[in-house]
A = this chain, B = another copy of it.
Amino acid sequence: MDYNRLLENIYQAILPYAQEGKQASYIPELAKVNPDQFGMCIHTIYGEVAAIEQADTRFSIQSISKVFALAMCLSIKGDDLWTKVGKEPSGTAFNSLVQLEVEHGIPRNPFINAGAIVIADLLLTHLENPEADFLRFVREVSCNDSIDYNKEVALSERKEGYLNAAIVNLLKYHGTIENDIEDVLHFYFMMCSIEMSCRELSQAFLVFANHRRRFDYAGITLTSSQVKRINAIMQTCGFYDEAGEFAYLVGLPGKSGVGGGIVAIYPLQYSVAVWCPRLNSKGNSVMGIKALELLTTETQSSIF
Contacts and interface: CB of A to CB of B under 8 A. Distances in A.
Nearest to A96: B101
Interface residues of A, number: 51
Contact of A244 (B237, B241, B248, B251): B237
Interface in A41-94: 86-92
Contact of A98 (B102, B237, B251, B303): B102
A236 B173 CA distance: 28
Nearest to A164: B169
Interface stretch (A10-18, A27-35, A225-233): A225-233
A33 to B, nearest CB: 23
A165 B235 CA distance: 33
Contacts of A170: 97, 162-163, 166
Chain A interface, DSSP helix/strand/loop, else mixed = helix
A108 interface: yes
A91 B87 CA distance: 10
Nearest to A239: B88
A130 to B, nearest CB: 22
A173 B169 contact: no
A245 interface: yes
A101 B247 CA distance: 25
A243 B167 CA distance: 25
A239 to B, nearest CB: 10
Contacts of A88: 89, 91, 241-245
A88 B88 CA distance: 12
B162 A302 contact: no
A267 interface: yes
Given A91-B99, A245-B87, A304 B231 contact: yes
21 contacts: A88-B241, A89-B236, A90-B91, A91-B91, A91-B108, A96-B101, A97-B97, A162-B169, A165-B169, A165-B181, A166-B170, A169-B169, A225-B297, A228-B251, A232-B244, A232-B248, A233-B244, A236-B244, A237-B244, A253-B304, A303-B304
| Ranked 10 nearest A-B pairs via Cβ | A91-B91, A231-B304, A89-B89, A166-B169, A162-B173, A88-B244, A165-B169, A232-B247, A228-B304, A166-B170
Given A162-B172, A163-B169, 17 more contacts: A89-B91, A91-B91, A91-B92, A96-B101, A162-B169, A162-B170, A162-B181, A163-B170, A165-B169, A166-B166, A211-B304, A232-B251, A235-B235, A235-B247, A236-B236, A236-B244, A267-B304
